[in-house]
Amino acid sequence: MSKLSIVGICLTGAIAIVQLIYWSSILPDPMPVHFDGAGRPDRMGSRAGFLGLNMGLHLMFLVGFPLLGLSLSGLPDQFINVPRKDYWLKEPRRESTLGFFRQYLAW
């Protein structure tokens, strides 16, 4: 993972925390979470539920995807979904293919 990726992940994480603090002070509780065809709210949810979902998605994207990219080399080929798997995951292309995925998932 490059230094630029690490800086980008840290910066995005910091922005997510600032966003969480800001939203937690202005969002109503309960808040509308679903709307009908006319734009009227037809389901309400808690502020804490919304903020938890928001932070969970941030963690998945900022931590989960880079970790997935780093763990690809240890996965059996059957768990890697790529077209023409017999071509892309065969030596000598395997390491460059996995390197591409690691870089793509890191940032």
Single-letter amino acid, residue 89: L
Of 105, 106, 75, nearest to 94 by C-alpha is: 75
pTM of the model: 0.69
Return the pLDDT at 38.
95
Indicate the angle between helix axes 3-26 and 47-59, nearest 10 degrees: 180
Q: Are 35 and 22 in contact (CB under 8 A)?
A: no
List own/partner pairs for 73-79 with CB under 8 A and 24 or more apart. Answer: 73/98
Q: Which residues does 104 contact at the CB level (< 8 Å), separation at least 6?
A: 69
List own/partner pairs for 78-86 with CB under 8 A and 24 or more apart. Answer: none
List the pLDDT tens digit at each of the 107 positions of the chain. Answer: 678 878 888 999 999 999 999 999 999 999 999 999 999 999 999 999 999 999 999 999 888 888 888 888 888 889 989 999 999 999 899 999 999 988 888 86
Return the pLDDT at 69.
86
The residue whose two tokens read 């940032």 is 107
- Residues in a beta bridge with 41: 35
